[in-house]
Amino acid sequence: MSDRQIPDNARFTHTVGYNDVKMFHTPGCRNTSRDDSRQYQDAGVESVSTVVYLIRVNMGFMTLFLLSLNVTDAVLAQLLSVFLWATLVLYGGASLWWLIRVFILSYGWQDTNQTEVGFDNIQVRVLTIAAEETVQRTVSSIPDEIAESLVIAEEAIDIAGADVHVVPDDFECAAQRKGRAIEWARQQIPCEKEYVLYLDEDTLLSGFSGLPAADIIQLSEHPLRTHSRLTYVCEIFRIGFQFEQRAFHRVAYPAYAWGGAVAVRHELEEQITWNVPSITEDTTFIWRAADRVNLDYRLATVKARNQAPPTLKSLIKQRRRWVSGTIKDRDLLPRRYQPFVFSRIVIWALSPIIPLFGVIIFVFPEATPSSSAYLLLSALLFGIVFLYMTFGLVEYRKYPEVWWAYIVVTPLAVLVHSLGALWGIIQPIDDFEVTRKTAAIDTGSLEDRNPELREDESGYDTELETEPDEN
């Protein structure tokens, strides 16, 4: 038996970690980086990206329309028509750019050797606060051939098969929360390997045999169902939308990164550092790196399995954090790239609004000229969301006999998925409350309850059951 295997009676209990909505508060940190401090000025003096600005203007325009009771019907109709068409054109342009990325720019994304970097050139670092049981499961999914498996924690925990390093309470830097822990590890833990592979506490590696050689390698994300079936459906929808990652090796500034499973060339990490304040440290790092070097990005085919948010509340807050961090760090992008990067936010936020506007036009065709053209275009654009879901189902390759059910609930998944994005656009935030996840079922129970589940070679290709968040 490997020293990384877990006892058969191992069970999951309450966990709090970096994959949760809020990690911890770091007092006394200040930004010491001259190069990256500009984007953290007061929001009132920051330049607003074109796309985000248009979204907010459109929302304000609709509010004015609803409140404008003293203007004539003709003026109101004209204002409504302009608003509806502007929103549709904005969404249509963003959707077109997504289609270009997926069907044109993604060509050749697998041409590189996916195992060019072997185990002997990789150091693994698992980030957590103190989620011992969850971290143990993650460490046990790491191939035994990887000699250096480390756990970076806020509190001392006992993990078989990995060295545990505790971040001192008095460590100060510009980075915050998870980024603070990563920066401490970068400064204090020696690394003679070419690559550092960062994993969240609940990220399980499946079929991992190496990495393609690049500056940044993103592992493919495959969330597992926890408590909520609807959040799991939302995650499948999101993974379909993230087919655009296949095109990121062709653009100078990848739109985002997922820190749950990302490998970084250690030399690049030392050059860029993590020492900036951000609530989306993974995306911030990749943008800063792209600004400094001719970034070589690759998407690895290996699957990294992490827990889906256990409740709708936690999912919405998670999406709000992602959008808030993207908006906050937007000045790291050259202005010419901002519309392209933020086009995904447009799709994200406006997907459920487009069919609503179509209903308005259907009920009140006199509201806008060329109402039939508007109805046709809005229907075609909304149809793309079913393409996202289909791509997600194909990526998962599970239970094709019930795919029709996922397609049916796609509109509901779109709505839930978009709420956090809209919230983050309207009211960006800097901090989050802790969301606790509980898992009370061991592997044996999962197999008993789900005999159809197929275990892969790692033994962890199973779906997790968790209890709902009490908050």
Tell me the DSSP string of 104-128. Answer: IITTTTT-S-TTSB-GGGEEEEEE-
pLDDT, tens digit, for every residue of 165-186? 999 999 999 988 889 999 999 9
Mean pLDDT of the chain: 80
- Residue 31 within any structural domain of the chain: no
The pLDDT score that the predictor gives to residue 17 is 54
Which residues lie below 8 Å from residue 11, measured CB to CB, with a gap of 6+?
Answer: 133, 439, 440, 441, 442
pTM of the model: 0.80
Buried b (16+ CB within 10 A) or exposed e, 222-236: bbbbbbbeebbbbbb
Asked whether the predicted pLDDT for residue 312 surpasses 80, the reply is: yes
Which of 320-334, 382-396, 457-471 is least confident? 457-471
- Residue 259 within any structural domain of the chain: yes
Mean of pLDDT values over 33-37: 39
- Residue 29 within any structural domain of the chain: no
249 close to 295: Cβ distance less than 8 angstroms: no
Residue 205's domain comprises 38-467
Distance CA 396, CA 409 (A): 17
The pLDDT score that the predictor gives to residue 128 is 92
Closest CA to 61 of 78, 46, 74: 78
- Residue 206 within any structural domain of the chain: yes
Mean of pLDDT values over 285-305: 94
The pLDDT score that the predictor gives to residue 284 is 94
The pLDDT score that the predictor gives to residue 39 is 39
Higher pLDDT, 138 or 77: 138
Distance CA 16, CA 221 (A): 21
Asked whether the predicted pLDDT for residue 31 surpasses 50, the reply is: no
Asked whether the predicted pLDDT for residue 281 surpasses 80, the reply is: yes
Distance CA 327, CA 341 (A): 11
The pLDDT score that the predictor gives to residue 396 is 86
The pLDDT score that the predictor gives to residue 23 is 36
The pLDDT score that the predictor gives to residue 14 is 43
- Residue 261 within any structural domain of the chain: yes
- Residue 2 within any structural domain of the chain: no
Q: How many domains does the chain have?
A: 1
Collapsed DSSP state (helix, strand, coil) of residue 329: coil
Mean of pLDDT values over 114-123: 95
Higher pLDDT, 107 or 63: 107
The pLDDT score that the predictor gives to residue 451 is 35
- Residue 9 within any structural domain of the chain: no
The pLDDT score that the predictor gives to residue 64 is 53
- Residue 6 within any structural domain of the chain: no
Distance CA 140, CA 8 (A): 13
Asked whether the predicted pLDDT for residue 35 surpasses 90, the reply is: no
Which residues lie below 8 Å from residue 231, measured CB to CB, with a gap of 6+?
Answer: 308, 309, 310, 311, 312, 314, 315, 416
